[in-house]
Amino acid sequence: MTIDNGTRVAIVTGGSRGIGRAVVRRLAEQGYSVVVGYAGNADEAAAAVKEAVAAGAQALAYRADVADETAVAGMFAEAETRFGGVDAVLNSAGRMYLAPVADLDLDQMDALHRTNIRGTFVVAREAARRVREGGSITLFSTSVVGTYFPTYGAYAASKGAVEALTMVLAREMRGRNINVNTIAPGPTATELFLDGKSDELVARLAKSNPLERLGEPRDIAEVAAFLASPAGHWVNGQVVRANGGMV
């Protein structure tokens, strides 16, 4: 069944947890119909859908590995079938692996880059083909690309590729009125960020910006919702470092 009530439609990958889930909630509050893309945790994806519906939105969950072009194409097709089209794509799906370069597990690095680089290009390719005129594409990087913390080499390199893609894709969208941007969060209180970090390290990172706190997923979701909205449409081809002033 097709539902086309004139509302804007968003696909949010990595939408079942962390920043992606906060983005789902914020877009739902703004009246978007939302497809919650997820990789494996169906219960968390269902909970994200429930939150979106409670906010007054239409929503559905769709399982898709972002690096699998067939699955991603199916997710876009489902959005078109159920909601009538796609206006905003926000690719928050990502993987983190930390190790000094001398100790890199190359299989782990390959898996990281499969999700963070290949996955970004797969989602961006489908978005470039299918987002409706006047729409928006938002990718995700990390402020570590500019802080150069030890052990983040493989992760930062994967996100550096995303940043390099941003302006290229924005220019390729010429004539279609589609803006393309990347958000690079700083330390944000998500399960992915907090996993394996001592309380001392978390406290030190919280003090690393002038606002002296960790970001919250909602902080990043507000930026994402702005960039996807008509109000943020003039921002194009940019990497937005949403990090409280961290340098």
Mean pLDDT, residues 93-104 taken together:
96
Domain 9-240 falls under CATH 3.40.50.720: yes
Packed helices 153-172 and 106-113: angle between N→C axes, nearest 10 degrees:
20
Give the rounded percent of residues in the chain with a pLDDT score beyond 90.
Answer: 90
* CB-CB contact of 44 with 38 (8 Å): yes
Interacting residues of 26 by C-beta distance below 8 A, sequence separation 6+: 218, 221, 222, 224, 225
pLDDT score for 6: 62
Mean pLDDT, residues 186-193 taken together:
87
pLDDT score for 10: 98
Distance CA 109, CA 104 (A): 7
Distance set, CA 99 to CA 20, 52, 112, 167 (Å): 25, 36, 12, 29
The pTM score is 0.94
If we measure between CA atoms, which residue out of 144, 126, 158, 116 comes closest to residue 35? 126
Distance CA 103, CA 9 (A): 43
What mean pLDDT is reported for the chain? 95
Per-residue model confidence as pLDDT tens digits over 146-169: 999 999 999 999 999 999 999 999
pLDDT score for 87: 98
Evaluate the CA torsion angle 63, 124, 230, 232 in order and state its sign.
positive
Per-residue model confidence as pLDDT tens digits over 67-89: 999 999 999 999 999 999 999 99
User: How many CA atoms within 13 Å lie on the side-chain side of 55?
Assistant: 22
* CB-CB contact of 46 with 53 (8 Å): no
Query: Which segments within the chain are labelled E, that is strand?
Result: 9-13, 33-38, 59-63, 88-91, 136-140, 179-183, 239-240
Query: Which residues belong to the active site?
Result: 155
Note the Cα 15 to chain centre separation in Å: 8
Per-residue model confidence as pLDDT tens digits over 203-244: 998 999 999 999 999 999 999 999 999 999 999 999 999 999
Q: Residue 3 pLDDT more than 60?
A: no
Distance set, CA 216 to CA 19, 193, 222 (Å): 8, 11, 10
**Sequence ranges of the domains in the chain:** 9-240
